[in-house]
Amino acid sequence: QVQLVESGGGLVQAGDSLRLSCAASGRTFSSYAMGWFRQAPGKEREFVAAISFSGGNINYADSVKGRFTISRDNAKNTVYLQMNSLKPEDTAVYYCAARPGVRKIGVDEYDYWGQGTQVIVSS
């Protein structure tokens, strides 16, 4: 069982940066692949980024590639999402998720989810 708590969301202007954090409980964090997803109003939840349990392998959605960076600190049981050059279309609730084993990009492939943190980017 893994419990996830996101933080770091807020209201920013276009072009600004934010860093989201996701703190995980449990002593097996380092064996879980982690992902960030987002859901905008009226839209389905979508993949943003994923990182392997070691941090050595990473995937990004095309829409955030070059602007967002996912990282993890296994000693702190925390995964991060650094978001730069934010755009209004990045406005969404951001969720972190965990799954044992290899990283995946599908929403249905993750077993544990946080409650989400709201990011609003004004133009």
Arithmetic mean of pLDDT, 10-38: 95
Arithmetic mean of pLDDT, 3-18: 98
Q: What is the pLDDT of residue 26?
A: 78
Cβ atoms of residues 97 and 20 within 8 Å: no
Q: What is the pLDDT of residue 18?
A: 98
35 pLDDT band, cuts 50/70/90, is: very high
Arithmetic mean of pLDDT, 100-110: 93
Arithmetic mean of pLDDT, 48-65: 96
Q: How far is CA 37 from CA 14, 27, 47, 123, in A?
A: 20, 23, 5, 22
Q: What is the pLDDT of residue 52?
A: 95
Lowest mean pLDDT among 11-20, 21-30, 109-118: 21-30
Query: In whole angstroms, what is the distance from residue 102 CA to residue 89 CA?
Result: 29
Residue, of 27 and 72, whose pLDDT is higher: 72
Q: What is the pLDDT of residue 12?
A: 98
Q: What is the pLDDT of residue 106?
A: 94
